[in-house]
Amino acid sequence: MGSDQLGLQYAALCCATLMVGWLLHWVYRWVNPPCFVGKLPPGSMGFPVVGETFQLFKASPSIDIPSYYRDRLKRYGPVFKTNLVGQPLVVSLDPEFNRFIFQQEGKLFRSWYPETANNIFGKKSITTYSGTVHKFMRSFSSKLFGAESLKEVLIGELEDAMRQGFASWAARPSIEVKDSVADMIFDLVAKKMVSVEPVESRELRKNFEDFFQGMLCFPIYFPGTSFYKCMKGRKNVHKKLTGLLQDRLRTPGKKHGDLLDLLVEELGSEKPVIDEAFAIDALAALLFTSFATISATLTIGLKLLTDNPKVVETLKEEHEEILKQRGDKNSGFTWDEYKSLAFTTQVMNEINRMSNIAPGIFRKTLKDVQVNGYTIPAGWLVMISPMAVHLNPTLFEDPLKFNPWRWMTHDETKRSTQQRNFMPFGGGIRLCLGAEFSKLFISLFLHVLVTKYRWKEIKGGEVLRVAEMIIPQGYHIQLVPTTE
């Protein structure tokens, strides 16, 4: 064998050795991520690249806490490390630590999302969403979702939209609840935000369909993948919203009476706090969040109500009492009536507690954080699990039972414990901007439903749990006017 061949073989052997060494080092770093001060919480980072993503999102036929959480809670305790779609993070099932996270917003933690969600909703809009921009966005959003807007304008428009929507549903043999509710909300919100009519808004909403699946999946941009479908929908949404914004910017003096007017006004100011890219991302995020969680919550809620006729009967009694108290029988639903709905509020609380539509609440550490003798390094993601708290039997007695009456307990200790650990809309200064809108919408929905209609199951409705409750096959019902 010649010296040249020996040299090539030696070089190849060296390269292979280096590659194996690098690979082993990379795997070691994956399994044992660095923590320069203190010790990371216990847990497993899963397999390289995929982490524990598939275990985390494996659907369970039980509505109880899935085995992924239960097994790790038993093995590691309520705070543990893992890896989700290639991103290291710490999962918190600890009620006390959750409250600490909310209290330290802006000091030790800040609102954040997994990288795939950042790509979908615009990384810039999330990473710069603080300080002046945060104040602007809260003010901007309150023009539609704030209490004053809800009380003075939206309550009447919501009731009209619902009555029309219910009437159209009752004219059909059956409707799929989630899709139908989403259309109802989106038609109204899209009109208020960007002045598009239902035909356009329905087309726009179709592009949001795959957003949920794309938010917590691997960012593989290849035809057929969830992320590809999601990003294709995002592109279509942005194209539509960009066209609307550009038209408005060309005629800034022409007002349409919607939220887009406010963005155009800010962009045309001397020192705007946002740019056009941020404006588009913000509009897309608000449009998506306006319908996505409420439609899913009401779908689960209707299934729970169907299975608990005593709750429906008590709801009906409360809402019929409102009708009896009205001086003018033709008057609409009022803000005072909404605020008087004690049992309806308990029903909403119980639906939100059991459904846990948000799979997690995400925060990013700004500094090294100490918890239970461990260190969460600066820059790590933390995922709060509302489900693990809401289904904790030490906090909520018999947690798998749909029991709205639990919220009217006279036991002050129990009442305080439930209220402190109830987090359907997050917590701290980042409490969901649309919380009051969501509660008003659901209250009105139930008001029209139980006073004017009855319903029966047609097909679907099989419930699974990932972290949130889901109905993968949909829920089809027939709506029948009670006057018939």
Annotated binding site for heme: 432
Please count the CA atoms within 13 angstroms of the CA of 342 that sit on its side-chain side. 7
Distance between CA atoms of residues 32 and 30, nearest Å: 6
Q: At 294, list the tokens.
A: 């409420």
Between CA 352 and CA 97 the distance in angstroms is 21
Q: What share of the chain is helix, strand, coil (3-state, %, to 5)?
A: 55, 10, 30
Rounded to an integer, what is the distance from CA 219 to the centroid of its chain? 19
Pick from 310, 172, 318, 190: nearest CA to 244:
190
Q: Can you tell me which residue has the tokens 């030696």?
A: 10
Is 112 strand, coil or helix? Answer: coil
Using DSSP's 3-state secondary structure scheme, residue 105 falls into: strand
- The tokens describing 293, both together, are 């969680």
Binding site listing: 432
**Cα angle, residue 116 at apex, residues 60 and 204 outer, rounded to 5°:** 90
Letter for the amino acid at 262?
A: L
Provide the residue type at 187 as one letter.
D
Give the tokens for residue 412: 């002050």
Distance of alpha carbon 302 from alpha carbon 306, whole angstroms:
6
Q: How many residues does the chain have?
A: 484
Phi, psi of 293 (to 5 degrees): -75, -40
| Residue 463 neighbours by CB under 8 Å, 6+ apart | 63, 300, 303, 469, 470, 471
Tell me which DSSP letter residue 51 carries.
B
First-residue to last-residue Cα distance in the chain: 97
Distance from CA of residue 49 to its chain's centroid? 25
- CB 81, CB 179: distance < 8 Å: no
Specify which residues 300 forms β-bridges with.
none
**Interatomic CA distance for residues 262 and 283, integer angstroms:** 11
170, 480 Cβ separation under 8 angstroms: yes
Judge whether 87 and 114 are in contact, CB under 8 Å. yes
The Cα 203–Cα 187 span in angstroms is: 10
